[in-house]
Amino acid sequence: MIRKLISRVFGGKKAAASHHEPAVIPVSSHGITRDRISSGSRRVCETLQENGHMAYVVGGAVRDLLIGAEPKDFDVATDATPEEVRRAFRRSRIIGRRFQIVHVMMGHETIEVTTFRGTLDANTKKDEHGRVLHDNVFGSQAEDAARRDFTANALYYDPTTEAVIDYHHGVGDLKQKTLRMIGEPRARYREDPVRLLRAVRLAAKLGLIIDPAARTPIREMAGLLENVPAARLFDEMLKLLTSGHSVKCITQLRDEGLHHGLLPLLDVILEQPMGEKFVMLALANTDDRVRRGKGTSPGFLFATLLWHEVLAHWEKLKAAGESKIPALYQAMDTVLDVQGEKLAITRRIAGDIKDIWALQPRFESRAGKRPYGLLEQPRFRAGYDFLLLRAESGEIDMELGEWWTRFQDADGEERAQMLLPEQAGDKKRRRRRKKPAADSVDHNSPE
């Protein structure tokens, strides 16, 4: 019976020899039936197998199903090359430079298909710190399993046989609540320093204890993150912040010494009572939304993380005599410029961040037509939610947030009654200026 099962799992192609044979765990032991796998990933595996290839759902999806969590996506690993995968699916495209993968579109699903990776050798291109730069080396399933970072991620599920293939005792480690590195941890962190962050994220998300052999080098090797491309750091930080366990992740980042320099002066923010309270409230709010299946905004998240940096710069500029609003915009640009050196925040997300910050002074105006204009702003809701976090953390008076809560829900007559009397300065600013002669227009005027 076992021989037949192994034959079916490895049918057609014999895997290259490995240090040990994998455990082939039947559905009666692990309980993952094929109907729990997305229809798109099932069809990809079936099509590739029909074309004579090995194909498995792999990694995080298998891990999550084993612990009773709902996978975000279903990736597939195969012995087919990227070109062979692309030929097998009309709606597919090859992406990636460091390691080529194929995106296969199945209805509303996009399945990421990777070819089994081969063992690194002396010809593998690395930087001076040992980080792998070019990795289009294909190999066997056993080699692919050895190349994965943690044992919990080196699990393969065959939708045809419903068997889990386990090369590195990953199922046992999950049962023991342990996150264990495959191979020598220091060497694996040098190959890809992002694994330092991934270890923290997975441990926090899955409720696992990082194996001491993998945990010990984290603090001392944190400097390797300086050599990681900003875009990759941004992607990993976004995964961490939207994991549904961001509070625990940020706390563990600090415990492991990984927060220093990752976000500019985040270590300082977390040591200031007001800044830490604000950040933790924002992250707790995000975690709650993720767990309830609601959407999250990267712009809102990073706006909260960096707000107290903006405040600090803003206060310095105003103290130096700069006008309030120009000082805010200058502070915003300074913080985002420094941030860009660490994390490649996209232009669109940076625009969302600045919109949220720029709205904050406008909430202070509660007279005349300004409140009505603010309600019409496209980013009003995000700015309002941000305002409530500021009030809840004690940065501003709670009364301001409560006023805006009532104002946006009130009818026309009630809104008019809520408006505060205009001050003399407000009226003076609203007085229409005489239009200058056509030949004397000042193009630097705010008008």
Positions annotated as catalytic residues are: 73, 75, 149
Residue type, 370: R
In the block, tokens 């097998």 appear at 88
Query: What distance in Å separates the CA atoms of residue 130 and residue 201, rounded to the nearest whole number?
Result: 23
- E strand intervals along 59-150: 75-78, 92-95, 101-106, 109-115, 125-126, 132-134
Cβ–Cβ < 8 Å for 267, 222: no
The secondary structure of 234-247 as a DSSP string is HHHHHHHHTSS-HH
Most distant CA pair in the chain: distance in Å? 95
The tokens of 289 are what? 């939304």
- 274-296 burial, b for 16+ CB within 10 Å, e for fewer? ebbebbbbbbebbbeebeeeeeb
User: In terms of Cα–Cα distance, which of 195, 218, 208 is closest to 149?
Assistant: 195
How many angstroms separate the Cα of 388 from the Cα of each of 214, 244, 338, 381? 40, 21, 27, 11
Cβ–Cβ < 8 Å for 362, 374: yes
The answer for residues whose C-beta is within 8 angstroms of residue 414's C-beta and 6 or more apart is none
